[in-house]
Amino acid sequence: MLVEFFAGMLLGLAGSLHCIGMCGPLILIFPFNTNSKIVGYFQNALYHFGRIFIYCILGLLFGFVFQIVDLKYFEQYFSLAIGGLFLILWYREFFGKQKVNQGALQRGVLRLFGKAMQSQSFLGMFLAGMLNGLLPCGLVYGALLAAFGTGSTEGSFIFMLGFGLATIPSLMLVYSLKNIITVKLRNHLSKFLPWWLLLLGVWFLLRGLNLGIPYLSPKIHPHSVRESSCCKPMKL
């Protein structure tokens, strides 16, 4: 399971710039306790643990689906799908942030998120993190696809755990430096985000293209993948 854990961490670390660009502004306006730095950091940590909790639950659900329909044979297509998601994110960031209409479910989650944050209680912060984990995020979708490709419920859970933990340092850093992070600095950082998304998208696409390039695009041999669980012959 260490392989799945570190693979998830790698994706989380690689997507840190995306986390800063998307969730960083929220961190800067969160009503964390300003009278005590220790309490403020604890609230911040609870918020992130709530987010990771949801990621792990989603990982379990995706892993459970794998037990019903074994799609391990299509591993390379998962990589292509993840790369495609990152390229879509890159396109939206680079060519204009057109407004996307929010669905009823998303509006409901955002309302509950706001109420949880306003409470400023420890439970409220944890619940806010859980609700944030349910908001649309291309990076999380890509992580879930990758977790699904691990081939087991446990592997999917561990992958999402590693992914969630790896996203914490960058956002905690944003919170620590919130007093010195200016609007101008945030605008400069946001300019790097589209290119980082493009790099991640190209990397995942190369892996999915199965070119036989060590580390960059390793060869995937379909015959080495175990037989699909839904197609095993019955023993008489």
**Sequence-separated (6 or more) residues with CB below 8 Å from residue 105:** none
Cα radius of gyration (the chain):
19
Percent of the chain with pLDDT over 90: 14
Query: Measured between alpha carbons, how far is 200 from 6 in angstroms, rounded to an integer?
Result: 17
State how far the alpha carbon of 2 is from the alpha carbons of 5, 158, 221, in Å: 5, 8, 23
**Residue linked to tokens 């019955």:** 234
What's the length of the chain?
236
pLDDT at 226: 45
**Maximum average pLDDT range among 69-83, 85-99, 130-144:** 130-144
- The predicted model gives 191-198 an average pLDDT of 71
- End-to-end Cα, the chain, rounded Å: 35
Residue range 145-164, pLDDT digits in tens: 778 767 788 988 999 999 99
96: helix, coil or strand? coil
Reported as a pLDDT band with limits 50, 70 and 90, residue 72 is low
Q: Which band of pLDDT confidence, cut at 50, 70 and 90, is reported for residue 224? A: very low
Which tokens in the block code for residue 154? 């446990």
Note whether 44 and 169 are within 8 A (CB). no
Single pTM value for the model: 0.72
